[in-house]
């Protein structure tokens, strides 16, 4: 009987983890208790187990829960990246397994597929891309400044080289957070917008200013974020996924037939999101919350000149 209770608890905790990951800022403690047929205190105990395992929970003003990224656990998508050295060591480990079989060779092929973008189709797994990531990871480990060669800036509409101190690399989000040495400011750079990374012999000089900021699904880095809730028609759903693939984790079928709910935290300036809404409003997009987003869109429309 005790084993059955322990199994039920473990199963419930896993389900709670999955629910909060898939639908951040959606479930309250009461809703989770009703969902699993237990008391709120029991859910509180489950939360204690989750936080004891190294996850960090936070709740919004409506008592809905989500996980805080980059504290202190690493995101699974970051674990998808293997350096060239990691790949070689894993190959050697597989070769040294007793009774080497065809199955072991298939395992090596699967590992190699991480570097074969033709199989996986992800830009951030292409070899040239990973070469840049490897250099950035080396620079971060050795605390060295680097040059981002031929960086294509949308802000200045120019191509140039940037001297930076890289401290947070996220291949899946195509994002590098670094300190721009010349401007002495924290900046985020698209990994796909510079041709290569050149390591320098100069050590970090401003490590005390390195501060990792959250990135929203529109790849906007900002510590000032707000919850949004959109209801999308099929056309808007397709457009959002195609243009901003990272939003997929925050979309689910709505209770309204033929509609989808998008809920997550985005930058308070609504950069990226507002452009999408204004560009595809004809595809059925309803802003459920917040009111600030609705006012932002109204103001944007008022400022349009034709």
Q: Label residue 190 by pLDDT band (50, 70, 90).
A: confident
Q: Label residue 170 by pLDDT band (50, 70, 90).
A: confident
Among residues 90, 124, 158, the one where a domain terminates is 124
Whether residues 93 and 68 fall in one domain? no
For the stretch 120-151, pLDDT in tens is 344 444 556 777 888 898 999 999 999 999 99
Asked if residue 219 belongs to a domain, the reply is no
User: What one-character DSSP code corresponds to residue 152?
Assistant: E
Among residues 124, 159, 185, the one where a domain terminates is 124
| Residues with Cβ within 8 Å of residue 295, at least 6 apart in sequence | none
Whether residues 145 and 201 fall in one domain? yes
Whether residues 96 and 112 fall in one domain? yes
Whether residues 68 and 82 fall in one domain? no
Res 109: pLDDT: 62
Which CATH number fits the domain that encloses residue 68? 1.10.10.10
- Counting every residue written for the chain, the total comes to 306
Whether residues 147 and 119 fall in one domain? no
Asked if residue 133 belongs to a domain, the reply is no
Which CATH number fits the domain that encloses residue 278? 3.30.70
Whether residues 231 and 204 fall in one domain? no
pLDDT higher than 70, residue 258: yes
Asked if residue 29 belongs to a domain, the reply is yes
Asked if residue 50 belongs to a domain, the reply is yes
Task: Report the domain count for the chain.
Answer: 4
Whether residues 230 and 294 fall in one domain? yes
168-177, 193-202, 239-248, 295-304 — which is least confidently predicted? 168-177
Whether residues 266 and 294 fall in one domain? yes
Alpha-carbon distance of 110 to 26, in angstroms, equals 36
Asked if residue 199 belongs to a domain, the reply is yes
Among residues 209, 238, 270, the one where a domain terminates is 209
Domain range for residue 179? 139-209
CA-closest candidate to residue 244, choices 218, 266, 265: 218
Please compute the mean of the pLDDT values over residues 113-122 and round it to a whole number.
44
Position of tokens 């190959």? 91
Whether residues 229 and 297 fall in one domain? yes
Whether residues 46 and 103 fall in one domain? no
Asked if residue 292 belongs to a domain, the reply is yes
Asked if residue 215 belongs to a domain, the reply is no
Whether residues 39 and 68 fall in one domain? yes
Asked if residue 218 belongs to a domain, the reply is no
For the stretch 63-104, pLDDT in tens is 899 887 644 444 444 444 554 455 555 656 666 666 556 666
Q: Label residue 304 by pLDDT band (50, 70, 90).
A: confident
268-272 long-range contacts (CB < 8 A, ≥24 apart) are 268/222, 268/224, 268/225, 268/226, 268/292, 269/220, 269/222, 270/228, 270/296, 271/218, 271/220, 272/216, 272/218, 272/219, 272/220, 272/244
pTM of the model: 0.50
Whether residues 230 and 297 fall in one domain? yes
Name the average pLDDT for the chain. 81
């Amino acid at each position: 009987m005790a084993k059955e209770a322990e199994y039920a608890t473990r199963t419930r905790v896993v389900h709670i983890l999955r629910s909060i990951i898939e639908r951040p800022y959606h479930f309250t403690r009461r809703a989770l208790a009703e969902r699993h047929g237990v008391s709120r205190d029991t859910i509180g105990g489950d939360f204690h187990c989750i936080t004891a395992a190294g996850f960090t929970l936070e709740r919004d003003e409506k008592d809905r829960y989500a996980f805080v990224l980059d504290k202190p656990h690493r995101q699974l998508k970051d674990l998808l990246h293997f350096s060239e050295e990691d790949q070689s060591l894993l190959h050697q480990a597989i070769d040294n397994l007793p009774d080497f079989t065809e199955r072991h060779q298939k395992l090596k092929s699967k590992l190699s597929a991480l570097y074969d973008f033709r199989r996986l189709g992800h830009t951030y797994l292409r070899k040239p891309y990973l070469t840049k990531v490897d250099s950035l990871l080396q620079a971060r480990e050795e605390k060295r400044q680097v040059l981002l060669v031929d960086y294509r800036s949308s802000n200045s509409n120019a191509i140039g080289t940037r001297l930076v101190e890289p401290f947070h690399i996220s291949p899946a989000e195509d994002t590098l957070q670094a300190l721009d040495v010349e401007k002495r400011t924290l900046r985020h750079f698209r990994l796909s917008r510079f041709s290569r990374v050149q390591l320098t012999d100069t050590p970090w000089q401003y490590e005390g200013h390195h501060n990792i900021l959250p990135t929203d699904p529109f790849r906007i880095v900002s510590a000032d974020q707000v919850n949004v809730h959109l209801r999308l028609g099929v056309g808007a759903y397709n457009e959002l996924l195609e243009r901003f693939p990272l939003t997929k984790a925050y979309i689910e079928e709505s209770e309204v037939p033929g509609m989808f709910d998008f809920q997550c935290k985005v930058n308070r300036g609504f950069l990226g999101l507002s452009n999408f809404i204004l560009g595809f409003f004809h595809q059925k997009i309803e802003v459920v919350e917040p009111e600030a987003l609705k006012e932002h869109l109204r103001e944007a429309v008022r400022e349009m000149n034709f």
